[in-house]
Amino acid sequence: MSAITVKIGGSLAGKKESMRELVGDLALLQRSRECVLVHGGGAEVTALSKTLGCLPLFENGLRITSVQEMDIVEMVLSGRINKRLVRMLSSAGINAVGVSGADGGLFRGKSISAEQANSTRTGTITGVRPALLELLLVRDYFPVVSSTSMDDSGEGLNINADEAALEIAVSLQSESLIFLSDIPGIMIGREVLSVLNEREALRAIQEGSISGGMIPKVKASLNALHRGVGEIVIGEYGGTGSLELFLTGKLGTIIKLH
């Protein structure tokens, strides 16, 4: 199976007009290709956490999810945002189905904390079983995946949505994984690179041209390419028609092995 995997962040998911345009693009894309949508939603989680008196904690940009906040994370990601996206897609004639990592054992993980007695509910993926997604796709359904999951004891886990998208794309051997971000692509100086191969990427990291939070994203992307994903695209959604431009190399940055 070579479905196209699309990952969107919470900032895009919260923009109604942009989402309407993206939904139109996805409806067109699904006519010729199988698609999976993976989403985050950290900003909405933070807003509700503060409203409910649960102070969000971050370390190096990563949410350190407390036991108390895990309920909020699951409620927002797998509830409010996931079902909002399902409704939008369904209204455009797409057979959307919302699932989380816990559904059908799609992906399971473990806490990033070594202290299991008082562990954070922020987790990392330990295994993926794509059978549920494959079943939905072959029946012409459109999976919408939130990044919450569970550990082996059945407790909830908050998985980074980028990691979830990468692992899902690997498990499906996706021909393309598109990261819709808030940046136009991978930039060297002020120039957006249209294509970046592994040799060029590693050299740019070594020279410091690629730095900060983009380093782990590029390295994780290269790892996914070695594990069977065809190509990875990073860019900012620019409105109707953008998905086709991403797939044809006319928008964003395509990361390839060679």
The 10s digit of each residue's pLDDT in 56-88 is 999 888 899 999 999 999 999 999 999 999 999
Assign domain 34-161 one CATH number from 2.60.40.1930, 3.40.50.10490, 3.20.20.370, 3.40.1160.10. Answer: 3.40.1160.10
What is the DSSP secondary structure assignment for residue 209, as one 8-state letter?
Answer: S
Query: pTM value?
Result: 0.93
Q: Which of 103, 156, 162, 252 is catalytic?
A: 162
CA neighbor of 154 nearest in space, from 122, 99, 109: 109
At residue 99, the 3 state secondary structure works out as: strand
The distance from CA 14 to its chain's CA centroid, rounded to whole angstroms, is 15
- 69-73 contacts, C-beta under 8 A, 24 or more apart: 69/45, 69/121, 70/121, 70/156, 70/157, 70/158, 71/156, 72/45, 72/48, 73/45, 73/121, 73/148, 73/156, 73/158
The 10s digit of each residue's pLDDT in 8-50 is 986 787 778 888 999 999 999 998 999 999 999 989 999 999 9
Contact of 234 with 181, CB cutoff 8 Å: yes
Average pLDDT, the chain: 92
The yes-or-no answer on residue 7 being catalytic is yes
The CA distance from 93 to 104, in Å, is: 25
**What is the reported pLDDT for 190?**
85
The yes-or-no answer on residue 217 being catalytic is yes
Q: Which of 7, 41, 123, 156 is catalytic?
A: 7
The yes-or-no answer on residue 50 being catalytic is no
Q: Which of 40, 41, 42, 109 is catalytic?
A: 42
The mean per-residue pLDDT over the stretch 100-114 comes to: 94
Domain boundaries, the chain: 34-161
**What is the reported pLDDT for 247?**
92
Does an H or E element contain 6, and which? Answer: strand 4-8
**What is the reported pLDDT for 181?**
87
Q: Which of 9, 10, 101, 123 is catalytic?
A: 10
Burial of 113 (0-12, 13-18, 19+ CB in 10 A): middle
Q: Which of 98, 151, 217, 252 is catalytic?
A: 217
- Count CB atoms within 10 A of the CB of residue 203: 11
Output helix, strand, coil percentages for the chain, rounded to the nearest 5: 40, 25, 35
The mean per-residue pLDDT over the stretch 223-246 comes to: 95
The CA distance from 181 to 169, in Å, is: 17
